[in-house]
């Protein structure tokens, strides 16, 4: 599925036309193009988030979610996270230099980093005052997700969103942070590590210059650590395995193919040639 999503024919990438601005240096042009790609692939858009006062779910609505069967709630969340991951794939395709990497390395970077970018993006639609997140059109607290049966994972996701929203990141900061979560030369299985490291270096310089220009150098020390994000993603993988043991066949029968490819790949699913 990822392979198909990355083929240029699929979602034709628009080369981001940058408004002609002589004053900008290469790293500022890179920052601007990352910001445009981020804005174009986030949901809701920044404009929708500003003005809008989102409603919270009523007690009845929360009870209705809490009495959903576990499989039904898992399927809902799997569908929503897959839609979010598809937007992250589109963001990656618009990152200057990403499509020039080998298809293999593009897939390796997306498999390792797409969920981390989704979790970082979540803070855009998170309300720290009420510890609620936008879910299916209204603001939901962790208790709404009770029927998933993974309270620790849900709590970790809310803790991360709480921590990130306290940093009050700008869209540019979130865009460059997301780009650096994807373009990470430290990911395992990369074929052309030096090439990824070069692209990562340009993004790193752009991020540091942005932070210096805006006097936000202190942000770097307060970002979630790679270990925290990695722990959350492996907690999710453990829960997927636990869910599959409880509900054999549900994931393969009714979860999105991209979700299955990323989080529930069976040895049996691997094409014979590469086993
Ligand atoms: O596209 C965008 O810009 C944004 C769109 C909205 C995106 C967003 O906030 N999200 C995309 C969907 C959603 S959620 O709103 O459904 C949600 C789910 C649990 C929470 F505690 C909080 C929110 C989500 C879904 C599954 C998941 O892990 C995998 C998973 C499953 F699959 C199944 C069961 C359990 C788990 Cl944990 C993690 C998250 C966190 C991000 C949330 C963020 C990006």
DSSP states of 188-204 as a string?
A: TT-S-HHHHHHHHHHHH
Q: Which two tokens stand for residue 243?
A: 């869910």
pLDDT at 268: 65
Atom of ligand 1 nearest to the CA of 154: 21
pLDDT at 14: 46
- How far away, in angstroms, is 77 Cα from ligand 1 center? 6
- How far away, in angstroms, is 76 Cα from ligand 1 center? 9
Nearest CA to ligand 1 atom 40: 119
Atom of ligand 1 nearest to the CA of 236: 37
Question: Is 135 close to ligand 1, i.e. is its CB under 6 Å away?
Answer: yes
Nearest CA to ligand 1 atom 7: 122
Q: Which residues are registered as beta bridge partners of 127?
A: 132
Kindly calculate the radius of gyration of the chain based on its CA atoms and give it in whole angstroms: 19
Phi, psi of 127 (to 5 degrees): -110, 105
175's CB contacts (< 8 A; 6+ apart) are 31, 34, 35, 37, 38, 39
pLDDT at 41: 98
Q: How far apart are CA 104 and CA 238, in angstroms?
A: 26
Q: Pick from 157, 238, 262 the residue to mutate for probing ligand 1's pocket: most ligand atoms within 8 Å of its CB.
A: 157
Number of other residues whose CB lies within 10 A of the CB of residue 263: 21
Q: How far apart are CA 273 and CA 129, in angstroms?
A: 52
Q: Give, as one character, the DSSP assignment of residue 126.
A: E
Question: Is 115 close to ligand 1, i.e. is its CB under 6 Å away?
Answer: no
242's CB contacts (< 8 A; 6+ apart) are 150
Q: How far apart are CA 85 and CA 248, in angstroms?
A: 24
Cβ proximity of 140 and 208 under 8 Å: no
Element containing residue 89 per DSSP (H, E): helix 70-93
pLDDT at 25: 78
Element containing residue 134 per DSSP (H, E): strand 132-135
- How far away, in angstroms, is 212 Cα from ligand 1 center? 32
173: closest CA among 200, 133, 203? 203
pLDDT at 51: 79
Question: Is 109 close to ligand 1, i.e. is its CB under 6 Å away?
Answer: no
pLDDT at 7: 82
Kindly provide the ipTM of the predicted complex, given to two decimals: 0.98
Question: Is 77 close to ligand 1, i.e. is its CB under 6 Å away?
Answer: yes
pLDDT at 124: 97
Cβ proximity of 206 and 31 under 8 Å: yes
- How far away, in angstroms, is 216 Cα from ligand 1 center? 28
Is pTM beyond 0.80 here? yes
Please give the chain's pLDDT, 275 residues, in tens: 999 999 875 444 444 445 554 556 789 999 999 999 999 999 999 998 887 889 999 999 999 999 999 999 999 999 999 999 999 999 999 999 999 999 999 999 999 999 999 999 999 999 999 999 999 999 999 999 999 999 999 999 999 999 999 999 999 999 999 999 999 999 999 999 999 999 999 999 999 999 999 999 999 999 999 999 999 999 999 999 999 999 999 999 999 999 999 999 876 665 655 54
Q: Give, as one character, the DSSP assignment of residue 268.
A: G
């Amino acid at each position: 599925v990822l392979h198909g999503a990355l083929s240029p024919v699929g979602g034709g990438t628009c080369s981001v036309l940058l408004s002609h601005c002589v004053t900008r240096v290469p790293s500022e042009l890179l920052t601007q193009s990352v910001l445009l790609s981020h804005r174009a692939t986030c949901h809701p858009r920044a404009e929708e988030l500003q003005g809008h006062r989102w409603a919270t779910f009523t007690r009845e609505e929360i009870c209705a979610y809490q009495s959903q069967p576990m499989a039904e709630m898992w399927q809902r969340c799997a569908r929503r996270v897959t839609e979010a991951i598809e937007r992250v794939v589109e963001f990656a395709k618009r990152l200057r230099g990403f499509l020039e990497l080998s298809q293999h390395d593009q897939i390796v970077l997306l498999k390792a980093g797409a969920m981390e970018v989704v979790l970082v993006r979540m803070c855009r639609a998170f309300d720290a005052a009420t510890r609620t997140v936008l879910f299916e059109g209204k603001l939901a607290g962790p208790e709404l997700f009770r029927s998933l049966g993974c309270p620790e994972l849900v709590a970790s996701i809310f803790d991360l969103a709480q921590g990130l929203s306290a940093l009050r990141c700008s869209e540019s900061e979130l865009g460059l942070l997301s780009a650096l979560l994807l373009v990470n030369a430290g990911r395992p299985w990369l074929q052309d590590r030096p090439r990824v490291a070069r692209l990562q270096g340009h993004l790193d310089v752009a991020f540091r210059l942005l932070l210096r220009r805006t006097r936000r150098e202190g942000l770097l020390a307060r970002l979630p650590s790679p270990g925290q994000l990695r722990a959350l993603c492996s907690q999710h993988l453990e829960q997927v395995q636990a869910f599959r043991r409880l509900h054999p066949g549900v994931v393969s029968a009714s979860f999105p193919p991209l979700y299955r490819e990323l989080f529930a790949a069976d040895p049996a699913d691997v094409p014979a040639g590469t086993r």
